[in-house]
Amino acid sequence: MNVIIVGLGRMGIGLARKLDRQGHNVCAIDQNPERLEELGEGYTGRKLAGVGFDRDVLAKAGIDRAEAVISCTTSDEANIVIARIARDSYRVPRVIARMYDVTKADTYRRLGIQTISTTDWGVRRACELLTYHQQDSVFEVGTGEVQIVRADVPSLLENMPVREITVVGEIKVIALSHNNQTFIPTSGTLLGHGDVVYAAVASGSLEKFAYILGKTE
């Protein structure tokens, strides 16, 4: 995928490095040449110094062939200008703009511009971590017959395989968070200290799941 990233703060640099490692054709743009050097020697994509909403700069970046543009400068106004140029003038299929003022997000989504906000995500994530209980239903499937349940791994289950909390047709672990990394485990994956499991649980088996985890009163 041909990707243009405008703005090389920590987010922009992180995105450019990650997408480059994944094999995408990345062109990173920043008006400060020193920021371009912070991409490091491991970065193999293109670097371009210039103002991100300058059409000549965007043309040099290959915006006519771009499949995605991500604008993550420190200015909401600049990010939206860049995103609208990409969307309206060049018909780039995927356009993302970083927004600090999240109150405008819905307006830009209606224009076909997806927005992201690390501040908004941080607030929601902090609230989530503070308010969820050791076992909490986070999503209902259908009309509630199946629930996606999030739960802390209790100490008594540490170093036990995932299959120990699996019940065929009733409880299935679908994801495991370990050391801030979330992945799909196998039946033999060992549960660790501080892990969080996400399980699909039949509504009639919620008490059984709680019992397995040792969380019944």
Residue 119 in tokens: 């501040």
Percent residues over pLDDT 70 in the chain: 91
Supply the mean pLDDT for the chain: 86
How does pLDDT run across 156-182, given as a tens digit for each residue? 888 999 999 999 999 999 999 988 789
Give dist(CA 135, CA 158) in Å, integer.
Answer: 16
Q: What is the mean pLDDT of residues 8-36?
A: 92
Give dist(CA 33, CA 54) in Å, integer.
Answer: 16
Q: Which residues fall within 8 angstroms of residue 111, CB to CB, at 6 or more apart?
A: 84, 87
pLDDT value at residue 124? 59
CA distances from 109 to 100, 115, 175 (A): 15, 7, 30
Percent residues over pLDDT 90 in the chain: 51
How does pLDDT run across 179-202, given as a tens digit for each residue? 878 999 999 999 998 888 999 999
Tell me if 51 sits within 8 A of 30, measured CB to CB.
no
Residue 143 has pLDDT above 80, yes or no: no
Give dist(CA 100, CA 76) in Å, integer.
Answer: 6
> How would residue 32 be classed by pLDDT, with cut points 50, 70 and 90?
very high
How does pLDDT run across 58-74, given as a tens digit for each residue? 999 999 999 999 999 98
Give dist(CA 196, CA 27) in Å, integer.
Answer: 37
pLDDT value at residue 121? 65
Tell me if 45 sits within 8 A of 27, measured CB to CB.
yes
Q: What is the mean pLDDT of residues 77-90?
A: 92
